[in-house]
Amino acid sequence: MNSIELFLLDNDFSWTLSKAVPYLAMILLGFIFIYILHKKIRPLNVFLRYGIKLIILVTPFVLYFIISPIYSGDFSNNSIELTKDSAVGELEGRRLVVLSTPNCPHCYESIGRMVKLKERVPSIIIEYVVCSSDTSSITWYQDKGKAAISVRLAEEIDAMVQLASGHFPSFILVNNERPLTKWSNDSFGVLAIDEVEDFFRN
């Protein structure tokens, strides 16, 4: 998340709009520049004129994309539902569980989004479950997550690794009244976060 996205999130834009609006604004800015420079480039021949207009149009978008690139999973929401069984009995209540491993950079990077999610929906419980028996491995996550998220070791490590299908972090929406909903890291984009946020707001 960059400062523009954070500003939009702080002003009650959805996660999806906070991601999309800056790119749309860059396209609009390109059109504004074309309008401002229209008289100066009008005397040029038609091919050069349209070539310059195209460059002016795409330049703001390209520059913003370089600063804040769009990755394949940024807008994704590809969840799967899983029947809860006794092997994952430690996943109880109504919460968002993030399955992680020690020293996982992608897991660590996800904490920033989860802290912002907690800030926007204070009632949500976000729990990082670290698939390890080493108690020192949770400190890394606790230091960044502060009081916004809880961190613990998995009780059934093999079951949690199997639930994540070896993909970390994996995000699990837990609700005793419905099946588990799981996203892998590359399918938990802004559309998915909006879905989770809506669920906990209701």
Taking each helix axis from N to C terminus, what angle separates 105-120 and 3-10, rounded to the nearest 10 degrees?
30
Q: Which of helix, strand or coil describes residue 15?
A: helix
Reported as half-sphere exposure (CB side, CA atoms, 13 A), residue 126 has a value of: 28
CATH for 80-201 is 3.40.30.10
pLDDT attached to residue 73: 87
Which contiguous run of DSSP H or E holds residue 105?
helix 105-120
Q: What is the DSSP string of 142-197?
A: HHHHTTTSEEEE-SSHHHHHHHTTT-SSEEEEEETTS-EEEEEGGGB-HHHHHHHH
Q: Per residue in 109-165, pLDDT tens?
A: 999 999 999 999 999 999 999 999 999 989 989 988 888 899 999 999 999 999 999
**Percent of the chain whose predicted confidence (pLDDT) is above 90:** 78
Q: Where are the domains of the chain?
A: 3-67, 80-201
Distance between first and last Cα of the chain: 25
Q: Per residue in 56-85, pLDDT tens?
A: 999 999 999 999 999 888 999 999 999 888
Query: What type of residue sits at position 177?
Result: E
- pLDDT of residue 192 exceeding 90: yes
**Residue 79: φ, ψ to 5°:** -100, 160
Distances (CA, A) of 71 to 77, 79, 121: 13, 18, 26
